[in-house]
Structure 1
Amino acid sequence: MAKRSKTSTATLPSREDVVAFITSSSGKVGKREIARAFNVQGSDRIWLKQLLKDLEIEGIVDRRGKTVHKAGQLPPVVLADIKRRDRDGELIAEPTEWDEEEYGPIPTIIIIPSRKPRPGMPVAGVGDRALLRVDPLKQGDVHRYVGRVTKILAKQRAQVLGIFQALPEGGGRLVPVDKKSREKELLVRPGDEGEARDGDLVATSIVKHGRFGLPHAKVKERLGSLKSEKAVSLIAIHTHNIPSDFPAAALAEAERAEHATLAGREDWRDVPLVTIDPPDAKDHDDAVHAVRDEDEDNKGGFIVTVAIADVSAYVRPGSALDRDAQERGNSVYFPDRVVPMLPERISNDLCSLRPHQPRPALAVRMVIGPDGRKKNHSFHRVMMRSAAKLSYQQAQDAIDGRPDETAGPILDSILKPLWAAYETVKKARDIREPLFLDLPERKIVLKPDGTVDRIFVPERLEAHRLIEEFMILANVAAAETLEKAKSDLIYRVHDEPSLEKMRALSEVLASIALKLPTTGALKPELFNRILRTVEGSEHQLFINEVVLRSQSQAEYSAENYGHFGLNLRRYAHFTSPIRRYADLIVHRALIRALKLGKDGLPADTTRAELIEISARISAAERRAMAAERETIDRLIAHFLADRIGAIFEGQISGVTKAGLFIKLKETGADGFVPAGTIGADYYRYDEKTHSMRGERTGETYRLGDRVQVKLVEAAPVAGALRFELLSEGRFSRKPQGAKKARGAKAGKPSRRAAPKVKVKRRSRA
């Protein structure tokens, strides 16, 4: 508990006063605002800091960065979708892409429209996506809010995506693919089916919603047969309302754009920068170069240069291209297609750093000391010419002594200095010790006909880490420069884990006899020690996943509260303006702050606008992640649909009252074992040990256990797999004879225990 200062007890606010102030404040509230409101000064600020920590531990307030608010409440500004009207005609909205695991159940926002809108005031309606300033409807109510529309962002498409089921007499029925859809089924009348055939994935609009019978829908677009995996990504695109077609005005602007000239730029065309990307990359927006520093005061140091495509030269603030890019927020990547943020004329031509072709860039030159720390840096607006285009594997093979015809000629002059600089930079990275999670990422390779060829986990190379570390250095340099110039910007922030998630992690670790330290500052180093403890053990994979789940979600913010995962005080995305709108904002801010041209961030850009943009692009990022994840799940379900009855090795990745979640070793696919099918016993869920335990036999299945499962059902549209458990669990005590337990399944054959599976030890820098 926070103890009051003996010298100023009478002047300090009570706990109740502080909570009341946090609850009633509509703007940003942090320690500074509370101290100013109650005139808390000097050493009493330590008392206030401890009080806020106590209130957070007790669950009375929540903290995000340096901001606190009443536990469970929405932040003052929220991006929301307007869903419907209530009986009184008031608009009802819900937060867009709300993360229930992160922030709790979805609250309801009641939007009270003005009786008489003032000129220029945005007038919202059902289907709009808008930025709202919100306040609780009444004190203490965290589920109902009054919202004021500050900006309308986009009109949601009034359509339903579903599977068309043809009827003999014509027309058909539509089964929505969205499990959250209000409509379980819709009727398509004869003549309204368009070109849809039985089993097709179609987009429809609701044309009639009567009081009785099924609502009527009209097919607007045939998206393809679900027999081809090419239709799978379209499900995610449409259900998440991801803009996939560029407006005519944006395309026209892109086609009219002309190549940038050398005017106003430094000539860097002789600097041998190279691009290193995935082998299937279509656009190349970053290039790197390194050379030993010849300065006598920096012996053993390097000069590292990172050049980034100058998108701001072509996408001007307020243009059609800019408005569309802001709505998209980022490019979205699926196994069979990319939904880009910018048209190909920009992303794949004018701004792609193609080898041996002049391209405009914004570059940062960083002086690295022999200890790996950045000593200083400078930004330059340049015209560059890439010396070579390499894939990660090409670059790595060359360093490992297997150069090809592209990498061979530049091995000694370009690649070896890059690796030497990286070895130096690693020293500072290892001291900083960012969070290191060893989680393999699945990659799906499709055949020409769109069906799944194979699923594999690509190898992580030093070439990947080299590019990542240089990009991190450039991003930090961008944030530092803008802060020094006192310029507003959009940060990339990552809050530290909440106390609730830390408690949950502690319980999981206790189930495998590991203890989470309860003292000392919360830093990535703490989690890294845990990860090193389980490295090479049977628990390695699932502990990495549990630690990942314990982390907060990174986002964009005009307020800086640091990046916990990278263990950095300031960080801004600068290195991918082709595919992320946040980076384009940072580029424009640098151009304006450093007087590098007239196409920087407009002088009248306010902090409030950046707050709105941050909320919008953070939601767009969450939308993209959900769409990409769902598409992977659906593709894997398609891939396994013809393997019903097959047996797989897996690991228990989650335990709930409803059953066990299983992650397959072969593909990384996730599936479910319902509790009622586990075994010949009645199994109870133990929340503390994250396990299922048989009442009669004591047989136990717990998080992280290796198991064998049989695939019994695959639902490609839902992306769901259902398994039957074959392995025996652990026994904490001997079975109690043959007495049948409640919920047992008589006559079920005994299951053969899964063989032990060795985990290969993966070395990580």
Structure 2
Amino acid sequence: IVTIDGETARDFDDAVWAEPDDDPANPGGWHIVVGIADVGAYVTPGSALDREAARRGNSVYFPDRVVPMLPERISNDLCSLKEDEPRPCLAVRMVFNKDGKKLGHRFFRALMRSAASLTYEQAQAAIDGRLDEVTGPLLELVLRPLWGAYASLVLERTERGPLDLDLPERKILLDDKGSVRGVVSPPRLDAHRLIEEFMIAANVAAAETLEAKRSPLIYRVHDCPSKEKLVSLGEFLCTIGLKLPKSGAIKPALFNRILADTRSTPAAELVGEVILRSQAQAVYSGDNLGHFGLNLRRYAHFTSPIRRYADLIVHRALIRALGLGPDGLTDGEMGELQEIAQSISDTERRAMAAERETADRLIAAYLADRIGAKFQARVSGLVRTGLFVRLIETGADGFVPASSIGHEYFYHDEVRQALVGEDTGLAYRLGDPVEVRLVEAIPTAGALRFEMLSEGRSIGTKPRSGAGKGDRRPQGDKGRPQGYKGKSHRQGRGAPRKRR
């Protein structure tokens, strides 16, 4: 059994193993074991450690450091599934058929010893034929079975049809002094997807087990898009010749078809942005609403108890429901699950905001000495007072005030997701590629202000006749719209550290 994680990871909370099923009744099937750090063996209900973990809710990951949910002695050492060290774990053994359908599963507590701590890149390189001294001996016995089992899980995932928004992730690289030396978007490898699919399967098994035992639990829920957002999405799709059904159940497959139909068109980026913005926020809840994005009826977080309090609660629920020890969920916790779910949903949003704002400040400092430089970007957001752009090079977000664009008044067309010139009808639309010049950088606020260099384009809107220019929105100093705080326009739905 091995861990596969990021290059800088120290809190190894999941390990994986697979082998072909030798049961003649299950030809081509697989056995998969997912072993998860048994944090419950160290952090007991009501202890000082537990109270502080509940208050923090989750670990927070910054480019230069981690603010852990648990003390580093526990998160990076005692609980971490370190190579060649005996560690307690709560594991699930699952049996799948050749098509990735789960035939059964069983949870158990065990003592495990990781055979190797591999990085995603290292494991992927081995499968691609680039072996090293660590992966060479593991290739046939460990890695090929893992990839074989993953291939079967992909078949089930394809049939299930979760929302297929595979968005790039930004990684900020720092030098020895803590200054930004670059921003990259690491490639998404099959090794990443393998771990993701194994973790999803384990999370589903946890929810199924607790439901079967009639145990209360904290679900990870993702509601379907609201009616209001679907109406807005439908109106937008009509402007590019697509239709959203007005009746019938809304499922991820519907959005996937739209994404597939537009993938090779100039509107692909725009459609992806608009579909992303139509989605609800995933949260924790004591009530099961299902997980729309994953297209699952039940889902819980089980696989990361070192860094998420929700997973620790699910561990305790499993320990109690299955009689795996005296350190299970207490009666008091069972009566407070809804309050706990709300609290950790709040701390998760707080952590995401902190991670996002820290990245914005670092990148603003990185770009502060490039005032006047030109950048390729895409329109990432629209408001009445201007538009937001995201730089292709760094993923940085900044603002272009409407008053600084051309020599006409621009109005916000919400249906077409565009800022439209009143005299010419030329527009800047969400997702449009543009060229901008950096005018101002404020590192302390994480704010960037740009000047638009690209001309707008025709989107079929006609100039407004008889429109005067005296009603231009009031602007503050230096072309900033009044009320502009310099913050980037983000949805906060990114998925650092395998958030799902």
TM over 0.5: yes
Asked whether 1:708 is paired with 2:430, we answer no
**Superposition pairs of residues 535-550 of structure 1, within 5 angstroms:** 535-550=263-278
* Contact 1:524 1:564 (8 Å CA) reproduced: yes
- Determine the structure 1 residue equivalent to 2:177: 449
Asked whether 1:372 is paired with 2:105, we answer no
Quote how far apart the aligned CAs of 1:298 are.
0.6
- Determine the structure 2 residue equivalent to 1:665: 392
* Contact 1:681 1:743 (8 Å CA) reproduced: no
SS in 2 for 1:651: strand
Q: What code does the residue aligned with 1:436 have?
A: D
* Contact 2:364 2:446 (8 Å CA) reproduced: yes
Cα–Cα, structure 1 residues 364 and 740, in superposed 2: closer, same or farther, change >3 Å? closer
Match of 2:30 among 271, 288, 302: 302
C-alpha RMSD of the superposition? 1.8
Quote how far apart the aligned CAs of 1:705 are.
1.8
Runs of 4+ aligned structure 1 residues displaced above 6 Å come to: 733-736
**Superposition pairs of residues 109-188 of structure 1, within 5 angstroms:** none
- Determine the structure 1 residue equivalent to 2:195: 467
* Contact 1:681 1:740 (8 Å CA) reproduced: no
Equivalent-residue separation in structure 2 for 1:528 and 1:394 (angstroms): 31
Equivalent-residue separation in structure 2 for 1:444 and 1:475 (angstroms): 30
**Superposition pairs of residues 247-646 of structure 1, within 5 angstroms:** 273-602=1-330, 604-605=331-332, 607-646=334-373
CA deviations over 1:401-432 (Å, ceiling 9, x no partner): 00111111100110000000000111111100
SS in 2 for 1:569: coil
Q: What code does the residue aligned with 1:309 have?
A: A
Q: What code does the residue aligned with 1:457 have?
A: S
Equivalent-residue separation in structure 2 for 1:608 and 1:454 (angstroms): 48
CA deviations over 1:571-621 (Å, ceiling 9, x no partner): 11100000000101111111111111111112x235431111111111100
Quote how far apart the aligned CAs of 1:685 are.
2.3
Q: Which moved more, 1:691-700 or 1:632-641?
A: 691-700
Quote how far apart the aligned CAs of 1:512 are.
2.8
* Contact 1:438 1:544 (8 Å CA) reproduced: no
SS in 2 for 1:291: strand
Match of 1:647 among 364, 369, 374: 374
CA deviations over 1:187-245 (Å, ceiling 9, x no partner): xxxxxxxxxxxxxxxxxxxxxxxxxxxxxxxxxxxxxxxxxxxxxxxxxxxxxxxxxxx
Unaligned runs of 5+ in 1: 1-272, 745-765
Unaligned runs of 5+ in 2: 473-500
More helix by percentage:
2
SS in 1 for 2:211: helix
Equivalent-residue separation in structure 2 for 1:740 and 1:657 (angstroms): 17
Cα–Cα, structure 1 residues 726 and 479, in superposed 2: closer, same or farther, change >3 Å? same
Match of 1:722 among 443, 449, 466: 449
Q: What code does the residue aligned with 1:569 have?
A: R
SS in 1 for 2:104: strand
Asked whether 1:691 is paired with 2:418, we answer yes
Equivalent-residue separation in structure 2 for 1:479 and 1:734 (angstroms): 54
Quote how far apart the aligned CAs of 1:436 are.
1.1
SS in 2 for 1:367: strand
Equivalent-residue separation in structure 2 for 1:654 and 1:509 (angstroms): 17
* Contact 1:682 1:742 (8 Å CA) reproduced: no
Cα–Cα, structure 1 residues 367 and 740, in superposed 2: closer, same or farther, change >3 Å? closer
- Determine the structure 2 residue equivalent to 1:262: none
Equivalent-residue separation in structure 1 for 2:4 and 2:335 (angstroms): 37
SS in 2 for 1:410: helix
SS in 2 for 1:704: coil
Quote how far apart the aligned CAs of 1:507 are.
2.7
SS in 2 for 1:488: coil
Quote how far apart the aligned CAs of 1:370 are.
1.4
Cα–Cα, structure 1 residues 717 and 508, in superposed 2: closer, same or farther, change >3 Å? farther
SS in 1 for 2:332: coil
Cα–Cα, structure 1 residues 411 and 733, in superposed 2: closer, same or farther, change >3 Å? closer
* Contact 1:291 1:303 (8 Å CA) reproduced: yes
Equivalent-residue separation in structure 1 for 2:265 and 2:164 (angstroms): 17
CA deviations over 1:95-142 (Å, ceiling 9, x no partner): xxxxxxxxxxxxxxxxxxxxxxxxxxxxxxxxxxxxxxxxxxxxxxxx
Equivalent-residue separation in structure 1 for 2:461 and 2:111 (angstroms): 73
SS in 2 for 1:519: coil
Quote how far apart the aligned CAs of 1:734 are.
10
SS in 2 for 1:701: strand
Quote how far apart the aligned CAs of 1:682 are.
2.1
- Determine the structure 2 residue equivalent to 1:118: none
Equivalent-residue separation in structure 2 for 1:523 and 1:289 (angstroms): 32
Q: What code does the residue aligned with 1:495 have?
A: D
Cα–Cα, structure 1 residues 425 and 733, in superposed 2: closer, same or farther, change >3 Å? closer
Q: TM-score, normalised by structure 2?
A: 0.91
Q: What code does the residue aligned with 1:676 have?
A: S
Q: What code does the residue aligned with 1:616 have?
A: S
Equivalent-residue separation in structure 2 for 1:294 and 1:517 (angstroms): 46
Q: How many residues are treated as equivalent by the alignment? A: 469
Cα–Cα, structure 1 residues 609 and 743, in superposed 2: closer, same or farther, change >3 Å? closer
CA deviations over 1:666-723 (Å, ceiling 9, x no partner): 1111111111111012222222222222232232222222111111011111111111
SS in 2 for 1:509: helix
Cα–Cα, structure 1 residues 438 and 541, in superposed 2: closer, same or farther, change >3 Å? farther
SS in 1 for 2:134: coil
Equivalent-residue separation in structure 1 for 2:211 and 2:146 (angstroms): 29
Equivalent-residue separation in structure 1 for 2:185 and 2:166 (angstroms): 12
Q: What code does the residue aligned with 1:533 have?
A: D
Q: What code does the residue aligned with 2:199 have?
A: M
Quote how far apart the aligned CAs of 1:662 are.
1.1
CA deviations over 1:138-164 (Å, ceiling 9, x no partner): xxxxxxxxxxxxxxxxxxxxxxxxxxx
Q: Which has the larger radius of gyration?
A: 1
Equivalent-residue separation in structure 2 for 1:468 and 1:445 (angstroms): 24
* Contact 1:558 1:607 (8 Å CA) reproduced: no
Cα–Cα, structure 1 residues 514 and 314, in superposed 2: closer, same or farther, change >3 Å? same
Quote how far apart the aligned CAs of 1:729 are.
1.1
Cα–Cα, structure 1 residues 606 and 692, in superposed 2: closer, same or farther, change >3 Å? closer
* Contact 1:439 1:545 (8 Å CA) reproduced: no
Higher relative contact order (CA 8 A, sep 6+): 2
SS in 2 for 1:648: strand
Q: What code does the residue aligned with 1:293 have?
A: D
* Contact 1:681 1:742 (8 Å CA) reproduced: no
Quote how far apart the aligned CAs of 1:622 are.
0.7
- Determine the structure 2 residue equivalent to 1:22: none
Quote how far apart the aligned CAs of 1:520 are.
2.4
* Contact 1:511 1:690 (8 Å CA) reproduced: no
CA deviations over 1:47-70 (Å, ceiling 9, x no partner): xxxxxxxxxxxxxxxxxxxxxxxx
SS in 1 for 2:73: helix
Equivalent-residue separation in structure 2 for 1:699 and 1:543 (angstroms): 20
Equivalent-residue separation in structure 2 for 1:493 and 1:741 (angstroms): 48
Cα–Cα, structure 1 residues 379 and 644, in superposed 2: closer, same or farther, change >3 Å? same
SS in 2 for 1:411: helix
Identity %, equivalent residues: 64
* Contact 2:270 2:432 (8 Å CA) reproduced: no
Equivalent-residue separation in structure 2 for 1:390 and 1:584 (angstroms): 25
Quote how far apart the aligned CAs of 1:657 are.
1.2
